[in-house]
Amino acid sequence: MNIEQDKTFQARVARYAALADPARLRIVDLLTLGDLSPKELQSELGIPSNLLSHHLRTLEGAGLAVRQRSEADKRRSYFRLAPAALEGLVPGREYDARRILFICTRNSARSQLAAALWRNVSDIPSASAGTHPAEHVAKGAIEVARRNGLDLDGTLPRQINQVALDEDLVVTVCDNAHEELPGLRGIHWSVPDPLRLDSEDAFENAFADISRRVLDLAPRLRAA
């Protein structure tokens, strides 16, 4: 980690520490709606003025809140959220990626769905493969994709060595594949195999799980 990255990281740590107190978290919640005076904040929180002052100084020191004087009554001040106060609190972009490779055992459902979902939300290319590819994509995967506006028709399962590139960011989406490839660096999503139950609900649950994970990961990566 270089010096600039370390400074950014330490600033995030300070903000997390400031927000770890329930009263300070409540203050920040209130400030997301608008600016408040200390008296108004005290009324909302029901805490002594000296304790409120301590919390406000902590939020200022962490770069979460700023104070400004009232233009009307100069004895009065208001607190507001600092510019970009909440940016970076959700884990940020940690990696560059040229391509995302989703892997499961059969490459017939989860990895196919993940790659298709990824193409809808990111400019970073995606591909999928299997450790032991099936002959065809599962009917349940094709149907759940279609119900959710994706098209897996004509897609064929493929072996990892036919697809993988050295620069791929690998995401295993099943435990079997992850444990079969112990030396493979990347990300693992433990998504239950919908083919075990082979029901509409099982495929919908797998789709929802993968969709949530894709939407969480995509903003954290940038194209290399």
Is residue 195 a part of any domain in this protein?
yes
Contact 47, 23 (CB under 8 A): yes
Mean pLDDT of 68-75: 90
What is the residue range of 48's domain? Answer: 3-81
Supply the pLDDT for residue 167.
93
198 occurs within a structural domain = yes
Query: 131 and 47 in one domain?
Result: no
Domain termination residue (choose one: 50, 81, 112): 81
Are 162 and 207 in a shared domain? yes
Give the CA angle between residues 39, 44, 48 to the nearest 5°: 60
Alpha-carbon gap, residue 107 to 182, rounded angstroms: 18
The domain that holds 173 is classified in CATH as 3.40.50.2300
Q: What is the pLDDT of residue 84?
A: 87
Residue 139 pLDDT more than 90?
Answer: yes
pLDDT in the model for residue 6: 77
Confidence of residue 9 (pLDDT cuts 50, 70, 90): confident
pLDDT tens digits along 21-54: 999 999 999 999 899 999 999 999 999 999 999 9
* Torsional class of 15: left (φ above 0), alpha (ψ -120 to 50), beta (otherwise): alpha
Alpha carbon dihedral 23, 24, 29, 31, in 10-degree steps, equals 120
| Model pLDDT, residue 223 | 84
Q: Do 178 and 111 form a contact (C-beta atoms < 8 A)?
A: no
Q: Per-residue pLDDT for 1 more than 70?
A: no
Which residues partner with 223 through β-bridges?
97
pLDDT > 70 fraction of the chain, expressed in percent and rounded: 96
Residues 121 and 168 placed together within one structural domain of the fold: yes
Closest CA to 195 of 143, 159, 151: 143
Rounded Cα distance, 198 and 200, in Å: 7
Examine the fold and report which residue of 81, 105, 122 is the final residue of a domain before the chain moves on: 81
State both tokens at 206: 């797998």
The neighbour count for residue 74, using CB atoms within 10 Å, is 8
Tokens of 82: 């600092």
Average pLDDT rounded to a whole number, residues 202-223: 93
% residues pLDDT > 90 (the chain): 80
Domain boundary among 53, 81, 109: 81
At 8 the pLDDT is: 81
pLDDT of amino acid 91: 64
Q: What is the pLDDT of residues 140-168, one digit of tens each?
A: 999 999 999 999 989 999 999 999 999 99
Q: Is residue 117 predicted with pLDDT exceeding 60? A: yes
Between 221 and 18, residue with greater pLDDT? 18
Among 216, 210, 214, 189, residue whose Cα is nearest residue 141: 210
Q: How far apart are CA 185 and CA 190, in angstroms?
A: 15
DSSP class of residue 82 equals P
Contact (CB, 8 A) for 129 and 162: yes
The pLDDT of 165-190, averaged and rounded, is 92
Q: What is the H or E stretch that residue 104 is in? A: strand 99-104
Distance (Å, whole) CA 198 – CA 46: 55
Length of the chain in residues, anyone? Answer: 224
**Gap between the Cα atoms of 19 and 59, Å rounded:** 8
CB 195 within 8 Å of CB 109? yes
Task: List pLDDT tens digits, range 92-107.
Answer: 556 789 999 999 999 9
